[in-house]
Amino acid sequence: MTDNHKQVTDLLLEQYVLGELPRNEKEKLDVRIQTDSDLQSRITRLRESNTSILDTYSPEEEFVRIKQKLHIANVKENIEQEARQKARIAPFGRRRTLVPAAVLSLVIVVMFSVMPFMTEQSLQEVADGGPVQTDDGIQIKGDARLFIFLKKGNGTKELRTGDVAHEGDLLQLKYLGRGDEYGYIFSLDGRGALTRHYPEKGGKARILEPGVHALPHSYELDDAPEFETFYFVSSNQPFELDAISDLARQHMQQSDKTEKGLALDKSFHQKMVILKKQ
Amino acid sequence: MAIDIKAYYEKYGPMVLRRCRFMLKDEERARDAMQDTFVKLLKKEHELKDQYPSSLLYRIATNTCLNIIRSRSRRPETQVDAQILAIANYEEPESSWLAKDILARLFGGEKESTRTIAVLHYLDGMTLEEVSKHTGLSVSGVRKRLRNLRKHVHELEGVSL
C-alpha cells in the first residue's frame, strides 16, 4: 500500500493537529489533506471537538480533580510501601489492625477537645449562618459538619467523639452543608468494615444541600468491638467515593495514624467522630 | 521533567478523552479514565524525556481503558465491542512481567503489552510498521505477538481478529 492510500489513523491525525509530527510525515500529510475532503472534515471535527471538550470540562476543574486523584494515589502508595516495609521488618509479627483503647483515649483528649457540642435545637441557628459554640465557650466559624444523635425513647442525645455507644444503639446522622459542595459520609468499625451512609449507593460524592439535613435512614450499631469512626469528607469538586473508601481502609491498618485523620489533599475537608464501643 | 498539569490538559486532554470515549463508550467513565491517564503520567514525570508525549499519553490511555474494561467485564451492564473485550481479557504469556508496573515499560522503553499492540493494530488500523514505531518493538516482534494473541483469542472466545 502506498503512502497516498494508507489509512490515516486517529493518532496520526491527532499528532498532526497537535503539531507533533516529524517534518517529513507532516509534509506528506499536508499534500494528502489538500485533495482529500474526508481528511479535511476529520481535522475540522477534531478542532471543534477540542473546543467543545475544553468548554465542557474546564482546565481549572480538571486540574483540581487530577491533583486530588494524584494525591490519593500517592498516599495509597506510601501506605502500601510502609506496610510492605513493616512486613519485612517483622515477618512473623502479628499485624495490628485495631486501635488500642489507650490510643483512642489519647486521641479523644488531644484532638477533639474543641469539637462543638450541639443540641438539635441549636442546629437551626448554625444552619442559618450562626457561629458554632464549643464547650469552653469559644465561638468558631461554622463550616460543613457532622452530627450524630442517639435515639433514646422519644428523644435524642448528641454523641460526640469519646462518647460510649453500644450494640443495638440507633443513631441518626445529620450534616450541616456549608462551604463545600460535595460530600461523603461513611463509618469504619473496629473490625474494619466500612458502611456508607451518604450516599448509600453510586460512585460519586453527593451534592450537599445548604443547611442541616438528616440522613434518610437511621444506623444501628452492630457488635463490632472497640470503636466506630464516622467520617465526613467534603470538597468543592466532585470526587470518587471508592478512592476515599480505599484510603480509609488502608489508613485503618496503620494503628499509629488512625487518630490523625485521612491524609487528604488540601482541597478536601474532613470531620471525624469516634465513638467508643462497649 | 516537571509537568504543568493545566497546560498539559489544555493541549492533550481532548485527545486523551476522545481515546477513552472510543474505548469505553461511556462519558463518565471516559472522563475518569482521562484523569487517571494524567495521574499515571504525573507519577512518572521525572522519568519523562523532553519529547512530544502524545504517543505516550495515547498508549497510557489505551492501557487504562483496557484495565477498566477488563475489571468491569464480569458485570452485566458492560457493553463494549466484542473485539475490545476479547483483547482486554487476553492473558498474556508474559504475565509474570505484565504484573509488574506497566508504566515502567512505557517509560523505560521496555516491551509494550500485547493487549495495547492489538488495540493499535486491530481497532485503530495501524500498520505493523506504525505499531512498531509507537511501541518501540520490531515489526517481526509485533507480528509474532499478534499471531499468538489471534490464536489464543480465537480458541478461547471464538472472536475473529
Across the interface, whether the CB atoms of A73 and B39 are under 8 A apart is answered: yes
What CA–CA distance (Å, rounded) separates A248 from A252? 6
**Could you tell me the CA-to-CA distances from A51 to A103, A262, B54, B106 in Å, in that order?**
54, 37, 18, 29
pLDDT digits (tens, 9 = 90+) for A74-86: 877 777 777 777 6
CB contact (8 A) between residue A62 and residue B42: no
CA distance A155 to B48: 61
Closest-CA distance, B99 to chain A, in angstroms, reads 16
Cell of A212: 442541616
Q: Does A49 touch chain B (CB under 8 A)?
A: yes
Q: Across chain A, what does the average pLDDT equal?
A: 77
List chain A domain ranges: 10-56, 97-277
Residues B16-27 pLDDT 10s: 999 999 999 899
pLDDT band at B109 (very low <50, low <70, confident <90, very high): very low
Task: Please give the pLDDT value at position A7.
Answer: 82
Any chain B CB within 8 A of the CB of A28?
no
Contact check, Cβ <8 Å, B125/A14: no
- Domain residue limits at B112: 5-157
User: What is the phi/psi pair of residue A211, to 5°?
Assistant: 95, -175
Query: Each residue of B77-91: pLDDT tens digit?
Result: 445 566 666 666 665
Across the range B57-65, mean pLDDT stands at 91
pLDDT tens, A152-161? 877 888 888 8
A57, B55: Cβ pair inside 8 Å? no
Given a contact cutoff of 8 angstroms between Cβ atoms, the answer to whether A173 and A147 are in contact is: yes
User: What SS3 state is found at A197?
Assistant: strand
The answer on pLDDT for A204 being more than 80 is yes
Per-residue pLDDT of A11-66, as tens digits, reads 999 999 999 998 999 999 999 999 999 999 999 999 999 999 999 999 998 998 89
The highest-confidence range among A5-14, A182-191, A215-224, by mean pLDDT, is A182-191
The stretch A213-234 carries a mean pLDDT of 86
> Rounded mean pLDDT of A242-265?
75
| Number of structural domains in chain B | 1
> Residue A67: CB partners within 8 Å, gap ≥ 6?
A265, A267, B5
Rounded to two decimals, the pTM is: 0.59
ipTM comes to: 0.73
Question: Which chain B residue shows the shortest CA-CA distance from A66?
Answer: B35
Q: Inform me whether the pLDDT recorded for B92 exceeds 50.
A: yes
Q: What is the pLDDT of residue B85?
A: 67
Q: Which three cell numbers stand for residue B101?
A: 508496573
What is the CATH number for B65? 1.20.140
Preferred mutation among B36, B54, B75 to probe A, highest tally of A CBs within 10 A: B54
Q: Are B146 and B115 in contact (CB under 8 A)?
A: no
Which residue from A15, A53, A65 is facing B35, i.e. has the nearest CB? Answer: A65
* Interface of chain B toward chain A, CB-CB under 8 angstroms: 5-6, 9-15, 17-19, 22, 31-32, 35-36, 38-39, 42-43, 52, 54-55, 58, 120, 124-127, 130, 134
pLDDT of residue A31: 94
